[in-house]
Chain A
Amino acid sequence: MATTIRLGEIAHARSGDKGNHANIGVIAYTEAGNEFLDRWLTEARMAEFLLPLRPREVSRYALPGIKAYNFVATEILDGGASRSLRIDSQGKTLALAVLEMRISPPKNIDEMRKPKTRNPVS
C-alpha cells in the first residue's frame, strides 16, 4: 500500500462561520504546494469530505497572492451559532480536520513542505 501523508504537511488552514455557513481557508506553504492544491483540492473533493455534515453547496475561491483557496460550505452548521445543537456551532475545528485529509505524495513533495527558514518566531 502506498504511503499517504497529511494535507497538513503542505498546507495550513483556518475556519470559521458566517451565519449558518462555514468557510475553510487552506493555505499552501509553497508555490508548488499551491499548484498541487489547485489540481487536487477541488470543490468536489472538499464537498465529498464534508458530506457527513451535509452542506448545501461548496464553493472554492482562489487567493493567489497568499497561495490559498477559500472554501465556503453553505448551511453546514446545523443552524449556526444561535440555533445549532452541535458543540462546534461555529465551525472552528473544521480547518484541523481538513488538514488531516490524506494525500498520495506527489513526486515533488519536497518542494511543497514548509520551508524551515520561513516565518521567523520573535
Chain B
Amino acid sequence: MSVIRIGNGAGFWGDNLDAPQLLVETGQLDYLTLEYLAELTMSILAHQKSRDADAGYVTDFPVVLESLVPALKSQSHLTIVTNAGGMNPSACAAKVAEILSAARMDDVLIAAVSGDDLLPSLDEHLAAGETFNHFETDAPLAELRQQTLSANAYLGAAGIVEALSVGARIVITGRVADASLTVGPAVHEFGWSWDDWNRLAAATVAGHLIECGAQACGGMYSDWTEDISLSDVGYPIAELSDDGSLIITKPEGSGGVVNTGTLAEQLIYEIGDPQHYLTPDVDADFSNVELSQEGADRVRVAGARGNPHPEAFKVSLSYRDGYMVSGTLVICGPNATAKARRCGEMILERVKRAGHELSRTNIECLGAGDSLPRIALADNEPWEVVLRITAYDASREAVDRLSRELAPLVTSGPPGVTGYTGGRPKPRPVAAYWPTTIARNKVSPTVETKPASEWN
C-alpha cells in the first residue's frame, strides 16, 4: 500500500513565515500545501490588482518560497501546492519563477491554475440568467453588481491534478476549496476516479484537518496547559493511503500535540451540518468519523463517507459597502467600566455635535466582559479597561470624524484616560461578503504550466 505525506505550513495569510521551512526540513514530506485565503482575502487582493496588474497574489508566498529553495534542491520529490495565487496566479508564478531562476532552478515546472475569477465575465453570466442569489437570504445580486469588488468560484482539485500530471512541482491556484489542496495530490498519486466518493471524502477530511495549520497540533486547544509547548508548535502532516486510510501527525521534536482532542476540535471547526461538508469534489459526511490514538502525536482518522459533489460551485463575492473605523483608549481608575462607557458616549456625542449621524456604532469595555456582551462576565471590577469604539457609515467623512475624536478625550475627558499611543485610527473601506453559487458547467479551471525560465 502506498502512502503519501502532505504537510500544511500555512493556515491563513499572515501565518508564521518560518513554519513551512521547518515543516519541510523535519517532516519528510511528499507535498507541502500552503493555504492563505480567508473569506474576504480575495477582495483585498482584487483591490491590489486593480491598482497594479502584476499584484493581487499573496506576497507572503514568495518570501516563504525563498526559504524553501534549499529543500526543493535537496528533496527531489517535494512538491508545493498553494492557493497563494489569489486574484493573480500567473503573476505569482512569474514572481516565483524569478526566485527559482536566481537560484539556478530554471527547469522547475511552475503551474498557475486559474478560472475561478468570475469578475471579468460577471455581466455575461448575469445576461445569461445567473442571478447570484445570496446563499442564505436568496436575494438576487441585482444592483449590488455595481459595487462588486470580487467574485470567485471555489474550484475543486481537478486543476491541481492536471498541473501535477504534467510534472509541475509548484502549483499556484486562485480560489479553490481549502481541502482541494490536499485532494489534488491524493487523486494524482493514487489515480482515484472522480466518483470514488468515499476516498475523496477521506482526503477531504485530511485537508480539512490540516488546512488551519497549528490548530490541529495544539493551537486553540481547549485543554491547553503549560505542558504543551506552543512557541515551537509543529504544523500538521496527513499520511494518506491509497485506500483512504489516514493518520494525522506532526514533525518529530516539534512543539504542540496531536491527539484525539486536538483533532476532534479541528474536525468540527467552522463546519455546518457534519453530514454535508460540501466541497466541489465531494459531499463529505463527517458525522461518523472516528479518531484513535496510535502513538505519541499520531492519530488515526477513519469513517469518512462521501456522496456525489454538489451541482453548483460556491462563489465568494464581495462588494463595496461603506466605511468602518475602530479605535481604542485605556480608561483607568475606580469604576473604570462605567467611566469607559461614558467616555465612549462622549465621543459619539461630539461626532453628532459636529453634524454626523453614524449609522452603526459599538462601545466595548474590554476587560469587563464585552468580548461576549452579557455572556462573558468579569468577576471583579477591573482597575482599567480598554475602551474600544467602532463605527460604520456609508460616509467616509462621518467615520473619519470619529477617528479624530479619540485623542481629545485624553485632555478633555474624565481623569484616567491614557493609552492613546497608536495614532489616529485609519478608516477602512468595508468589503461585504455575498456568498452565492454558479452552475458547475459554467466554470472550469485553466492550467498553465511552464518551466521557471519561461515565466518572465
Binding site for B on A (CB under 8 A): 8, 12-14, 16-19, 21, 23, 25, 27, 49-50, 52-53, 59, 61-68, 70, 72, 74, 78-83, 85-88, 92-97, 99-100, 114, 118-122
Contact = CB atoms under 8 A, between A and B. Distances in A.
Contacts of B220: 14, 92
B40 A27 contact: no
B409 interface: no
A119 B223 contact: yes
A81 B39 contact: yes
B268 A25 contact: yes
Contacts of A85: 324, 326, 360-362, 390-392
Contacts of B360: 85
Contact of A23 (B268, B296, B321, B392): B268
A12 B259 contact: no
A87 B297 CA distance: 34
A14 B390 CA distance: 26
17 contacts: A23-B270, A25-B268, A25-B269, A52-B373, A66-B289, A66-B290, A70-B274, A82-B39, A85-B324, A92-B220, A94-B372, A95-B222, A99-B222, A118-B259, A119-B259, A121-B227, A122-B257
Contact of A17 (B135, B270, B388): B270
Contacts of B297: 122
B364 interface: yes
B288 A121 contact: no
Contact of B274 (A61, A92, A114): A61
B293 interface: yes
Contacts of B227: 121
Contacts of A16: 269-270
Nearest to B222: A12
Interface string B258-282: 0111001111111111110000000
B271 A23 contact: yes
Interface string B218-261: 00111100011000000000000000000000000000010111
B375 A49 contact: yes
A96 B362 CA distance: 23
A5 B333 CA distance: 33
A20 to B, nearest CB: 8
B132 interface: no
A37 to B, nearest CB: 13
A108 B14 CA distance: 46
Given A52-B375, A87-B388, A114-B223, A63 B267 contact: yes
A62 B321 CA distance: 37
Nearest to B364: A87
B259 A120 contact: yes
A17 B39 CA distance: 10
Nearest to B256: A122
Nearest to A56: B136
Interface string B33-60: 0000011100100000000000000000
Contacts of B221: 12
A52 B257 contact: no
B287 A65 contact: yes
Interface in B135-162: 135-136
A55 to B, nearest CB: 12
B376 interface: yes
A53 B372 contact: yes
Which of the listed residues A49, A97, A100 has the most CB atoms from chain B within 10 Å of its own CB? A97
B257 A61 contact: no
Contact of A70 (B268, B291, B321): B268
Contact of A93 (B261, B270, B371): B371
A13 to B, nearest CB: 6
A8 B268 contact: no
B294 to A, nearest CB: 11
Contacts of A50: 375
Contacts of A61: 272-275, 287
A80 B433 contact: yes
Contact of B268 (A14, A59, A87, A114): A14
- Give 4 closest A-B pairs by Cβ, nearest first: A25-B268, A52-B374, A12-B222, A85-B362
Contact of A121 (B135, B257, B272, B366): B257
Nearest to A15: B269
Interface in B75-101: none
A19 B265 contact: no
Nearest to B366: A87
Nearest to A17: B270
A61 B288 CA distance: 12
A88 B272 contact: no
Contacts of A8: 222
Residue of A8, A72, A87, A122 contacting most chain B CB atoms (<10 Å): A122
Contacts of B270: 16-18, 23
A83 to B, nearest CB: 6
A68 B40 contact: no
A86 B362 contact: yes
